[in-house]
Amino acid sequence: MKKRWLLPVFASLMLLASPFTNDAEAATNKELTTTAYKYIGVPYSYGGTTTNGFDCSGFTQRVFSDLGINLGRTTSAQYSTGNAVSKSNLAVGDLVFFNTSGRGVSHVGIFVGNGQFVHSSSSKGVTVSKLSESYWANRYLGAKQIAKFPAEVVAKKVEEVKSVAIDFSIYASRAEVANQLAKALNLDTSDTTSTFSDVKSSDKYAGAITALQNAGIFQGDENAKFNSNSPITRAEMSKVLVLAFDLTLQDNTIQFTDVKKGNWAYDYVNNLASNKVTLGIGNGAFGAKDNVTLTQLDLFIERAMN
């Protein structure tokens, strides 16, 4: 995809040169959301423009750059780009702006539909929030359309529709978790004879799965299956990480609203949080039932190793 330089919008005929008049070069709205979501969990860093940490405009700039669209570096520069869009006409991919400082435009995110936007929050890192939340609703300034992101053509044949498919370009499969952990722990993956009934010795990550199974880190379900191509929840991941890195509970425990005493994952989640491997997803929640993203997997392993 070719890069397209975005020009500030002036009250002149330069509007005719708007960067999104050629929709053929634009990504689809699914590509936009997929690209934005893959960074969920990356921490906030003032002035950050990399996966080590983003500030708000560094995040939006990175997402659009991944799609071949160049944005200005700062929130104010991005606010001066594109065409104004009313709140009632927001489309996926529109930039939404807020006054969080009391001095004008100071925060930006990307609208992803259903009244939600993804952004790099100073308290949560890259996350998804609702425009209707009182904090954001009271600070909303406006929106700009930088490019149009058309919907993909929906397959008409029922057999081609996968309504419950998991996008593993965003989320981590159990096999990928095994692969990454085996590398991080420097395990011997030469033995591919797993006793899981659904893991063949010829499978891509059979060695990693077998190594983790032998180490007592991964266990099968009630049918002795590993379920290589299934996602893994954050609660399940907490148990795996505690076992893999032999983490012990520290003094600074954190209580999460969605993982209370009596929950099977309570000890594992608190252990993980006390070791600062996770701080949850915000608003006091851990996100126990949320599927782990690839970005979160990388961050979890990096933090657990340190």
Known catalytic residues are: 56, 107, 119
Q: Which residues, other chains included, contact 302 with Cβ-Cβ below 8 Å and sequence gap of 6+?
A: none
Q: Say which residue the tokens 């983490």 belong to.
A: 247
User: With left for phi above 0 and alpha for psi between -120 and 50, is residue 246 left, alpha or beta?
Assistant: left
Show the tokens assigned to 185. 């722990």
- The two structure tokens encoding residue 7: 């020009």
From residue 158, how far is each of 162, 164, 168 by CA, in Å? Answer: 8, 13, 22
Question: Which of the 8 DSSP states describes residue 171?
Answer: B
- Helix boundaries (H) for the chain: 29-37, 56-66, 75-79, 134-137, 174-184, 206-214, 234-244, 266-274, 294-305
